[in-house]
A and B are shown apart, each in its own frame.
Chain A
Amino acid sequence: MSVFVDRSSRVIIQGFTGQHATFHAAEAMAGGTNVVGGVTPGKGGSTHLDRPVFNSVAEAVAETGADVSGIFAPPQVAVDALLEAIEAGIRVAVIIADGVPVQDMVRTKRYLTGRSTVIIGPNSPGIITPGECKVGIMPSHIYRKGRIGVVSKSGTLNYEAVAQMGKLGLGQSTCVGIGGDPVNGVDFRTVMQAFEEDDETDIVVLIGEIGGNQEVEAARWASHYMNKPVVGFVAGASAPRGRRMGHAGAVISGESDTATAKLDAMEALGLYTVRNPADIGDAVLRAIKETGEHHHARAGP
């Protein structure tokens, strides 16, 4: 089953003919992702990477039955592309761009009321169900099929955690990068719920950072409603107050959104917490051993 995307996902790429989109679409296709076409307004009717190009998302959906879209449009126009995808009934929309106007996302989330599109991002590395479907920019070769669900704000920290698990022989069910913006699509809690309901996921790794309280909200939810163990890390214990650390949302604005405060809260709620970013893999292994999920969580042959 996995989470949000799998081998049955029919993927389109918005901004298909752009340089980055082309590179990542080709890489995803080589890894088995079912890319059924793409959208570049004005280039409809042509083909790109042996797939049809459409002028609009609605047209692409009608012609190909696409249900997932990877939005590679630049930040100035990415929200428009996202709204077009929502309007066309796309089930999962992944928005990669870093630099999307924050108030545009406020309006977008209001627009989503009564609609059911799952938005992943913006400022996201994307989503990958190893061996089945990748919509994003992550290096596929480090991911392997397994039973650990990973959800993070950061892309590179997601890779770091996955690499640590890989060295221990642990693979992933699905990895989701929800992005580093203050107003974003799916939050940690929503992804955790999906992992809890997924019969291919045994353990969840949550990787947060300073700013906001999504991590603690998710941990609180997990402590009440999750049976699966959760391993948590929060980056930025060494970050100063009031400075935006790269991500638009990564800024400490009070007492409760420091890395230490979040980790303390998560620990108090019964999560496996990690204070050293180099210990994420080990913590997952410890959680597996303690909860008896060892034989499940190991990667397949």
Chain B
Amino acid sequence: MNIHEYQAKELLRQYGIPVPLGEVVYSVKAAARVAEEIGGQRWVVKAQIHAGGRGKAGGVKLANSMERLAELADQMIGSRLATEQTGPEGQRVQRVLVERAAKIDREIYLGFIVDRDSQRIVVIATAEGGVDVEEMAREHPERIHKEVVDPAIGLLDFQCRKIAMALGLQDRMSPFVRILKRFYRCFRDKDMLLAEINPLVETEDGDLLALDCKMVFDDNSLFRQGEIAELRDFDEEDPKEVEATGHGLNYIALDGQVGCIVNGAGLAMATMDAVVLHGARPANFLDVGGGASPEKVANAFRIVLKDPNVKAILVNIFAGINRCDWVATGVVQATRDQRIVVPIVVRLAGTNEVEGRRILSESGLDLITAEDLDEAAAKAVAALKAVEA
């Protein structure tokens, strides 16, 4: 789960990590009020959407006067911001963060991840903040500094000092070590998977400030992170994906035309791959999970068909804890109740597959059945081509 920059900064503040003076606002009037309250001559106006790449897309701008500030807030609030991560249609900006601008001497990148290689929490730092850290890791791995945290004992002072020295922060050692340790505690306490302060800046006055912050939380831990779960912004998510989650389905919208309804994440991905190999593109990833009832399957159809691009549906079930007869009943119900007109290809295998196939054939519906994965994908793509022709 992602949160907004202003929410992440509030968490940093709670952990005693310095952030710029500022406040999130929903109107031009409030923007002016906040600027007056925090004072100074220059302010930054930052569009609050989850996607990255805001700066390049014009979602972060500097105002040298109150008039300019009002103008920028007016332009941004209510507009759609398209960054490299949002897709061309962009994301609606509902609020902006107004902050006092800092005079910056240098920028640093500071991040924590749950690292898959070491299977531990790792701190990552580089002296060149604001950059794409992945690109840096590829091109100049020697400029990336890492420390692996022993979960039994936590991040140690000497590890923080090592990072400080690698970054050339000998003169700011104590405040840096304090910030890094607090950042680690925040990461661990709140069950994050990834957190970045990018950049952490040293101002003209020698203060360290977290100028931007991104946090990704572990969905699996939200049951014990009630305060974090409340920060979820459904407007930032695809409404079809939100609805799917409510039905216990795992759905991700994609840009193709073959709607996919599958059980299991691995088989769902493989089914999408098979569709591509046969010359079409999947409209979605959808995992109905285990123990899929007829109602759940019917809901899966409803969500997949909300995407107007869907011209054919491929149902691929390999039932272990699922039951093919339940899935078949769901397919038949959905086709009748929802008056589905797009071609439906169904492949059923595993638990109760004979019964499932019988339900499909006795329904009298115009369903296309397939014996295996390859045949199913081929038939779904052929059905799509027939619709398009």
Contacts and interface: CB of A to CB of B under 8 A. Distances in A.
Contacts of B108: none
Nearest to A182: B116
Contacts of B152: 107, 110-111
Interface residues on A, range: 35 or more
Contacts of A75: 220
B373 A156 contact: no
B373 A278 contact: yes
Nearest to A277: B270
A279 B274 CA distance: 10
A139 B263 CA distance: 14
A235 B266 contact: yes
B252 A139 contact: no
A236 B264 contact: no
Contacts of A237: 273, 276
Residue among B191, B219, B281, B318 with the most chain A CB within 10 A? Answer: B318
A236 B272 CA distance: 8
Given A101-B191, A238-B281, A254-B134, A180 B114 contact: no
Given A107-B151, A139-B351, A209-B269, A255 B138 contact: yes
B249 to A, nearest CB: 10
Given A156-B320, A235-B269, A238-B276, A102 B114 contact: yes
B119 to A, nearest CB: 5
A235 B277 CA distance: 12
A239 B151 contact: no
A76 interface: yes
A242 B262 CA distance: 21
A157 interface: yes
A108 B254 CA distance: 36
B121 interface: yes
Nearest to B254: A240
Given A102-B114, A107-B151, A182-B114, A155 B220 contact: no
A255 B138 CA distance: 9
A262 B157 CA distance: 38
Query: Interface of chain B, helix or strand or loop or mixed?
Result: mixed
Nearest to A241: B85
Interface string B195-212: 000000000000000000
Given A139-B319, A154-B265, A245-B285, A106 B273 contact: no
Contact of A160 (B138, B150, B318): B318
A299 interface: no
A75 B188 CA distance: 19
B282 interface: yes
A244 B274 CA distance: 19
Contacts of B221: 101-103
B320 A236 contact: no
Interface in B286-339: 287, 290, 318-321
B235 interface: no
Residue among B191, B220, B287, B350 with the most chain A CB within 10 A? Answer: B220
Contacts of B350: 139, 142, 159, 163
A154 B193 contact: no
Interface string A101-142: 111011101110000000000000100000000000111001
Interface in B25-76: none
Contact of B116 (A137, A153, A164, A212): A212
Contacts of B266: 152-158, 180, 207, 209, 235, 246-247
A142 B349 CA distance: 10
Contacts of B138: 254-255
B227 interface: no
B191 A103 contact: yes
A210 interface: yes
Contacts of A46: none
Interface of B: 85, 114, 116-117, 119-121, 134, 138, 150-152, 188, 191, 193, 218-221, 223-224, 250, 252, 254, 262-277, 281-282, 285, 287, 290, 318-321, 349-351, 372-374, 377
Q: Which 3 A-B pairs have the closest CB atoms?
A: A154-B266, A246-B265, A156-B264
